[in-house]
Structure 1
Amino acid sequence: MAVMEVIKMGNPVLREKCLPVAPDEIGSQDFQDFIDDLIETMQEEDGAGIAAPQVGLLKRLFVIEMDSNPRYPDQQNFPLTVVINPRIRRLSEETTDSWEGCLSIPGIRGRLKRYQHVELSGLDRYGEKLQMVLDGFPAIVAQHELDHLDGILFIDRMDDLKTLSFESEFGKHGDG
């Protein structure tokens, strides 16, 4: 396994729409090795999730996990989940305020609204159907990662850019 370089905002790859993963790709050793490297990269960078385009692969794949993450000390843990060709369906119109950061926009957080309750579906790392209901922070992370697959960054979803904050200032001056 290997930690890959996370590309940063400004790299045009982050603005591309990703292609679906073909069924015959999923079982290949190269693809499985890529999944392992993506997981290792997320964990090394203390991410709650990471999408394939963040390391330069324009395929519809992301991984999410929360396990006592120092970047999000007050958030609930959730298990490692690999999602290929993901889809998200909102389960209600209820939204929540989300202070988000991104490995491709290091050191910055911003506030936006995300759906509170969603259904995440797709395929797991072995090509088996995956379907789960997510609430709260896991739902936010999945929506954030799905956006990456469509070339959308969290800053594109912000209603008020005045909430952009360096992480070093986050929480010092208000409700962060």
Structure 2
Amino acid sequence: MIYPIVAYGNPILKREAEEINEGEDIKELIKDMFSTMDNASGVGLAAPQINKGIRLFVIDSTLMVDESDEEKGMRKVFINPIILDEYGDDYSFEEGCLSIPELRAEIIRPEKLTLEYFDENWNLKEEEFTGLTARVIQHEYDHLEGILFVDYLKGLKRRMVKSKLLDISKGKIATDYRMIYPVK
């Protein structure tokens, strides 16, 4: 099943997501989230973006790396993740979001993180991620905390995107995927 993506302005995007009960069968939901992300040509998708307020996200950072890159991306699911540490040099990278189409901004984040999470078989993992994969995880993790990449924008940059965000919330945007708009 391919879910519609929740657009900017929907309150679920600003709420902290709830933990999933350990052992709960969510394999079908995970499959559907990958299908939804792929359909929208995304590199990550958090459950709140499909109107589910639970701590779950999927990523496919293989789409962001070239064959010549040292870093190899990964296609992975994260259940009830907890960032244990973020470290390394801060670097700027242009981010976008399926819930905020046609808007991108340079966001500064640390280059590495250590994450504790459950995989799709409810195996507890602790793993270090770096580079673009770490960035995708940080972005999707923010969704679980009710934070959007535009929340990092300040001052003039924030004011410059305000009307675009309002248009998105009203559905005045064209996408190649279905969306749910809070205001019509």
Work out whether 1:150 is the aligned partner of 2:149.
no
**CA distance in structure 2 between the partners assigned to 1:52 and 1:39 by the alignment:** 11
For normalisation by structure 2, the TM-score amounts to 0.78
Give the alignment partner of residue 136 of structure 1, picking from 128, 131, 145. Answer: 131
C-alpha offsets along residues 10-48 of structure 1, whole Å, 9 cap, x if unaligned?
1111111110010131xx2xx211110001111111111
Contact 1:65 1:77 in 2 (8 A): no
Mapping 1:152-171, distance limit 5 Å: 152-159=147-154, 162=157
Task: Judge conservation of contact 1:14–1:152 (CA < 8 Å) in 2.
Answer: yes
Cα distance between partner residues in 2 of 1:44 and 1:54? 14
Question: Where does structure 1 differ by over 4 angstroms across 4 or more consecutive aligned residues?
Answer: 72-77, 163-166
Name the aligned partner's letter for residue 10 of structure 1.
G
Q: Does 2:120 match 1:125?
A: yes
Q: What is the root-mean-square deviation of aligned Cα atoms in Å?
A: 2.4
Tell me if structure 2 keeps the 8 A contact 1:112–1:159. no
Q: 2: CA distance between counterparts of 1:155 and 1:91? A: 20
Question: What does residue 98 of structure 1 align with?
Answer: 93
Secondary structure of 2:77's counterpart equals strand
CA distance in 1, matches of 2:156, 2:150: 8
- 1:42 is aligned to 37
Greater RCO, CA 8 A, separation 6+:
2
Q: How far apart in 2 are the matches of 1:83 and 1:48?
A: 14
CA distance in 1, matches of 2:7, 2:59: 19
Aligned-pair CA distance for 1:152: 0.6
5+ long unaligned stretches in structure 2:
165-184
Q: For 1:92, what is the secondary structure of its paired residue?
A: strand
How far is 1:77 from its partner?
4.6
- Are 2:85 and 1:85 aligned? no
Equivalent residue for 1:14? Answer: 13
Partners in 2 of 1:136 and 1:88 — Cα distance?
15
Secondary structure of 1:67's match?
helix
CA separation of 1:161 and 1:124: change in aligned 2, threshold 3 A: farther
Percent identical? 33
* Structure-2 residue corresponding to 1:172: none
Q: Are residues 1:67 and 2:66 paired?
A: no
1:132 and 1:15 map into 2 onto residues whose CA distance is 27
The aligned amino acid for 2:48 is: P
Normalising by structure 1, what TM-score? 0.81
Q: In 2, are the aligned partners of 1:21 and 1:85 still within 8 Å (CA)?
A: yes
